[in-house]
C-alpha cells in the first residue's frame, strides 16, 4: 500500500464545496452562538431568579451531553414532535444552540469580571441598563472574554465534523466519501486533519492579533 494524498486532492472541487459548507456552519454557529449566548447570559444576570434557574438548567443539559447525541436527538427525534429538518438546517440549529450554551458561560464570567462599582457609577449617572451594558460592560469584558471565545470557536470547528453523522455534506462527510470511493481512507483522514488544523491555526493567530489590538487600544494614550 502506498500513501498517496494526491488521490484525494484530485477531487478538489468536491472538497471545496464540503469546506464551504463547513465554514458556513461554523461561522453561523459562532455568530449565532455569541449573540444567543450573550442574550442568555444577560437574561440570567438581570432577569431574576426564575429565569436564571430555567436557563441555567438548559445550559447544564447542553453542556452535560455529547454534541453527537444532541444532533441525533434533533435529527431523528425532531420528527416525533413535528420538527422535520433537512440535514443542513438541522446542523445549523444544533451547532448554534450548542455554541450558545458555551458562549453564555463565557459571557457570564465576563459580566462577573466587571467590578460592580463600575456599573454602580453608570447607574448613579442615570445610564439605563442597556446603555450600561453597551457602553461599560461589553467594552470592559471584551479583553477578558476574547481568549476563551477564540478557544471555543476552535472547538466548534472541530465539533462541526460530528454533523457528518446526519449526512450534512460538510468537509468530513465529503472527504470520507472520497476516501471510500478511492480506497484511500488514510489519505482522506490525513487531508482532513491538515485542513482543520490550518483553519484552527489561522483562527488562533487572528485571535492573538485581536487581543494585542484590544489591549493596546485600551491602555494607550489617546
Partner 1 sequence: MSLPAIAIHSLVKRFGETTVLQDIDLEIPEGKVSCLIGPSGSGKSTLLRCLAFLEEPTSGMITIKGEALGFFENAGGKRERLPPAQIRTVRSKTGMVFQQFNLWPHMTALGNVAEALKTVRKVPKAEAEARAMAQLKKVGLENRAGHYPSQLSGGQQQRVAIARALALEPKIMLFDEPTSALDPELTGEVLNVMRDLAAEGMTMVVVTHEIGFAATVGQQISFLDHGRLLFSGPPTEIFAKPRHPRLDQFLDTYLDRGASMLA
Map residues 78-117 to x or -, x wherever contact with partner 1 holds by CB under 8 A: -------------------------------------x-x
Interface residue with partner 1 among 47, 54, 86, 118 (CB under 8 A) is 118
Distance (Å, whole) CA 134 – CA 123: 13
Q: Does 136 bind partner 1 (CB under 8 A)?
A: yes
Q: Does 140 bind partner 1 (CB under 8 A)?
A: yes
Shortest spacing between CB 131 and partner 1, in angstroms: 5
| 128/181 with CB nearer partner 1 | 128
Interface residue with partner 1 among 135, 205, 208, 213 (CB under 8 A) is 135
DSSP string, 16-47: HHHHHHHHHHHHHHHHHHHHHHHHHHHHHHHS
Torsion (CA) 189, 177, 170, 162 in degrees, nearest 10: -60
CB 141 within 8 A of CB 114: yes
C-alpha cell of residue 133: 451594558
Interface residue with partner 1 among 28, 36, 127, 210 (CB under 8 A) is 127
Amino acid at each position: 500500500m502506498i500513501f498517496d494524498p494526491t488521490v484525494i486532492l484530485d477531487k478538489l472541487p468536491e472538497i471545496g464545496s464540503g469546506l464551504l459548507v463547513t465554514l458556513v456552519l461554523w461561522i453561523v454557529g459562532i455568530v449565532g452562538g455569541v449573540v444567543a449566548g450573550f442574550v442568555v447570559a444577560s437574561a440570567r444576570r438581570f432577569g431574576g431568579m426564575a429565569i436564571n434557574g430555567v436557563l441555567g438548567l438548559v445550559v447544564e443539559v447542553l453542556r452535560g451531553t455529547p454534541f453527537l447525541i444532541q444532533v441525533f436527538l434533533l435529527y431523528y427525534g425532531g420528527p416525533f414532535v413535528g420538527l422535520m429538518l433537512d440535514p443542513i438546517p438541522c446542523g445549523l440549529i444544533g451547532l448554534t444552540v450548542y455554541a450558545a450554551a458555551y458562549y453564555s458561560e463565557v459571557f457570564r464570567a465576563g459580566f462577573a469580571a466587571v467590578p460592580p462599582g463600575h456599573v454602580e457609577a453608570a447607574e448613579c449617572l442615570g445610564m439605563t441598563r442597556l446603555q450600561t451594558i453597551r457602553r461599560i460592560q461589553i467594552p470592559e469584558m471584551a479583553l477578558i472574554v476574547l481568549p476563551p471565545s477564540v478557544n471555543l470557536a476552535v472547538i466548534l470547528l472541530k465539533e462541526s465534523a460530528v454533523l457528518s453523522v446526519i449526512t450534512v455534506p460538510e468537509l468530513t462527510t465529503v472527504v470520507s466519501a472520497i476516501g471510500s470511493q478511492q480506497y484511500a481512507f488514510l489519505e482522506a483522514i490525513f487531508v482532513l486533519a491538515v485542513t482543520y488544523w490550518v483553519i484552527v491555526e489561522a483562527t488562533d493567530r487572528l485571535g492573538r492579533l485581536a487581543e494585542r489590538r484590544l489591549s493596546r487600544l485600551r491602555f494607550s494614550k489617546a
